[in-house]
């Protein structure tokens, strides 16, 4: 039998309509978003549903590659939200076997929403949804990955531990690497596309989360590592005002951080990137046109070169210049904005681990960081300090760092200590100190040092160390599904996940991690923190050694001029 083209087209339309209707009939958990219906999946046990890979904007393809995200295009029928969507284009330098492999696709802009079943309106064919109740507090979480890799997907960010506490959880992807953080200081590529994506996602949550049973007026924004640094930046941004009530920063800040938001750094990276791509044009609009026409593979190859030059992070948030028609996300240095009182009315939890950079050891060995220090001593300077220090003072400060941390005998363990203090511990303590001085909303500080019976990152990265490395607190709040598989936690680890998730959900509901129970006071002039070694509440004042470290890095950031 021969079909004409019109018959084939008609058959295709009928089949699509039939498939959509069949999905609707078989959908166990169905929710209406502003762009159309989404069909999620009930979790094993039937107490919550997950809606994965839900587009929260139009995919930034072609001419939209570096532009601010546009509204998602409506779809007919019911969008299949039972499986994770693609990750964004990336080369992973950290997570390794903790997540599914994949280079990713540019059509990666999606959210994952996890909600208790009783919150969902209506019922699917399987009848697992029930009548909605009062709206629940919402956790929106921004993933880490040095602004260049990672995703919000449940391979590392499974919601299981949190869902028993009757909250709605949203994780998401945002543009990373050059797609998210290249700046040409122009209206076409102003930089901070990844931060703009986060603002777009938060606005999407405001418009849509009620349909999942969440309260748009009770959003807690959390992030870890680069995600935490981005979240902190959003607390300082007028563009994000009113989109969330409180924040949780896990091992990351935007002040005195592991990256520099200086426009001079952004310009240097952009020039290196364009050179790698063979783009010699000097006009930003012509550069933009050439970038739009460049294949994804070439862009990723150029990014790979820069990652190897800089070690972990290359493209990062930047202080923006104003451009017509562009909403400014970060209009000044984060420390300046912080000192002006931006975000001081937002309650914070700020955390760090006691052995942060141990989990970066494989990458440091791969790039032979110790040889790099010999060849280029500037490597030991905190990036954010480098661009605020007069060039004449840099050698003296490098010498002070080398003397304090290496004492004439440099080795990788000593560098890991420097990395931990410089990139994570000092910035967390300093931000807490700055916030306490601003006399605003409460700030709760923690140091995470719990050693689990089964360490996700030590297992996945084949490491062995004492204490808690970077991201290990995260694995007791979100379930690392890809590594854990069907593994059951030990009773001791299970108890610790209950404690950590209770801190989070108490904070979501009460802006206090212990709901007023004595034992975790907010930061004051004493700069005390919760020392999370066991499930017990242990409040500790910053030690003499930590105070000495803070005084030292204060001197690195101060200038004699």
User: Please, which pLDDT band fits residue 11 given cuts at 50, 70 and 90?
Assistant: very low
Alpha-carbon distance values, 296 to 62, 79, 288, 292, 547 (Å) = 11, 27, 14, 9, 47
531 HSE (CA, 13 A, CB side): 9
Model confidence at 18: pLDDT above 50: no
The 3 state secondary structure assigned to 261-287 is: CCHHHHHHHHHHHHHHHCCCCCCHHHH
Q: Rounded to whole angstroms, how far apart are CA atoms 407 and 391?
A: 24
561 assigned to some structural domain:
no
Give the length of the chain. 561
What does 421-472 look like in DSSP terms, one character per residue? IIIIIHHHHHHHHHHHHTT-S-EEEEEE----SS-HHHHHHT---SS--TTT
H/E stretch holding 222 reads strand 214-224
| Residue 321 domain flag | no
- 112 DSSP β-pair partners: 171
Residue 193 within any structural domain of the chain:
yes
Q: Which residue(s) pair with 30 in the sheet?
A: 39
Number of domains in the chain: 1
Around Cβ 173, how many Cβ atoms within 10 Å?
28
Burial (0-12, 13-18, 19+ Cβ within 10 Å), 551: exposed
Compute the distance between CA of residue 253 and CA of residue 424 in angstroms, rounded to an integer. 8
Query: Does the residue 262 lie in any domain?
Result: yes
Q: Is 539's pLDDT higher than 70?
A: yes
Q: Does any domain span residue 249?
A: yes
Helix (H, G, I), strand (E, B) or coil at 216: strand
Find out whether 52 and 82 touch, Cβ atoms under 8 Å: yes
pLDDT of residue 131: 55
For residue 535, the 8-state DSSP code is S
Is the residue at 98 inside a domain? Answer: yes
Average pLDDT estimate for 342-353: 97
CB 181 within 8 A of CB 191: yes
At 352-390, the pLDDT tens digits run: 999 999 999 999 999 999 999 999 999 999 999 999 999
Task: Examine residue 214 and state whether it is found in any structural domain, yes or no.
Answer: yes
pLDDT at site 381: 97
**Average pLDDT over every residue of 277-305:** 97
pLDDT digits (tens, 9 = 90+) for 122-166: 544 344 545 557 999 999 999 999 999 999 999 999 999 999 999
- Domain region containing 205: 14-56+69-310
Cα within 13 Å of Cα(121), Cβ side: 14
382, part of any domain:
no
Q: Would the pLDDT of 509 be above 70?
A: yes
Where residue 121 falls among pLDDT bands split at 50, 70, 90?
A: confident
> Does the pLDDT at position 7 exceed 70?
no
Please tell me whether residue 368 adopts helix, strand or coil conformation: coil
R_g of the chain, CA atoms, integer Å: 24
Active-site residue numbers? Answer: 225, 356, 470
DSSP letters along 132-164, please? Answer: --SPEEEEEEE--STTTS---STTT-B-HHHHT
Beta bridge partners, 353, equal 448
Confidence of residue 4 (pLDDT cuts 50, 70, 90): very low
Instruction: Check whether 307 has a pLDDT greater than 60.
Output: yes
The CATH number that applies at residue 261 is 3.40.50.1820
């Amino acid at each position: 039998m021969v079909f004409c083209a019109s018959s084939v087209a008609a058959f295709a339309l009928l089949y699509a309509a039939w498939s959509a209707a069949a999905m609707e009939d078989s959908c166990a958990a169905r929710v209406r978003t502003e762009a159309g219906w989404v069909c999620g999946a009930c979790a094993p046990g039937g107490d919550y549903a997950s809606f994965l890979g839900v587009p929260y904007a139009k995919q930034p393809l072609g001419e939209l590659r570096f532009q601010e995200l546009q509204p998602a295009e409506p779809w007919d029928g019911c969008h299949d939200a039972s499986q994770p969507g693609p990750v964004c284009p990336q080369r992973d330098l950290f997570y390794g076997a903790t997540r599914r492999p994949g280079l990713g696709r540019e059509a990666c802009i999606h959210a994952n929403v996890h909600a208790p079943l009783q919150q969902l309106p209506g019922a699917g064919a399987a009848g697992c949804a029930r009548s909605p109740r009062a709206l629940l507090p919402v956790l929106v979480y921004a993933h880490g990955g040095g602004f260049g890799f990672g995703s919000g997907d449940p391979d590392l960010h499974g919601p299981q531990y949190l869902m028993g506490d009757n909250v709605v959880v949203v994780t998401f992807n945002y543009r990373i690497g050059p797609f998210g953080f290249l700046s040409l200081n122009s209206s076409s590529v102003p930089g901070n596309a990844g931060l703009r994506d986060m603002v777009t996602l938060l606005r999407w949550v405001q418009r849509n989360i009620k349909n999942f049973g969440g309260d748009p007026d009770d959003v807690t924004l959390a992030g870890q590592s680069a995600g935490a640094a981005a979240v902190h930046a959003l607390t300082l941004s007028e563009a994000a005002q009113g989109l969330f009530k409180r924040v949780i920063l896990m091992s990351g800040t935007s002040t005195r951080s592991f990256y520099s938001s200086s426009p001079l750094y952004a310009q240097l990276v952009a020039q290196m990137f364009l050179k790698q791509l063979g783009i010699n044009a000097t006009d930003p609009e012509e550069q933009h046109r050439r970038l739009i026409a460049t294949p994804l593979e070439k862009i990723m190859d150029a990014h790979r070169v820069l990652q190897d030059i800089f070690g972990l992070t290359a493209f990062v948030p930047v202080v923006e210049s104003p451009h017509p028609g562009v909403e400014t996300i970060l209009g000044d240095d984060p420390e300046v904005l912080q000192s002006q009182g931006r975000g001081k009315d937002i309650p914070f939890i700020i955390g760090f681990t006691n052995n942060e950079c141990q989990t970066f050891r494989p990458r440091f060995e791969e790039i032979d960081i110790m040889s790099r220090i010999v060849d280029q001593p500037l490597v030991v300077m905190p990036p954010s300090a480098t661009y605020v220090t007069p060039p004449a003072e840099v050698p003296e400060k490098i010498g002070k760092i080398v003397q304090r941390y290496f004492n004439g005998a440099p080795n990788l363990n000593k560098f890991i200590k420097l990395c931990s203090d410089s990139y994570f511990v000092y910035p967390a303590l300093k931000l807490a100190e700055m916030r306490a001085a601003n006399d605003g909303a409460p700030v709760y500080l923690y140091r995470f040092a719990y050693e689990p019976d089964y360490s996700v990152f030590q297992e996945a990265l084949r490491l062995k160390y004492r204490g808690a490395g970077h991201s290990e607190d995260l694995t007791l709040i979100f379930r690392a599904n890809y590594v854990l598989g069907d593994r059951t936690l030990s009773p001791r680890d299970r108890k610790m996940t209950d404690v950590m998730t209770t801190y989070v959900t108490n904070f979501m509901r009460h802006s206090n991690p212990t709901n007023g129970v004595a034992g975790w006071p907010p930061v004051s002039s004493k700069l005390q923190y919760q020392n999370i070694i066991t499930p017990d509440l242990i409040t500790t004042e910053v030690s003499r050694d930590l105070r000495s470290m803070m005084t030292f890095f204060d001197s690195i950031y101060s200038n004699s001029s």
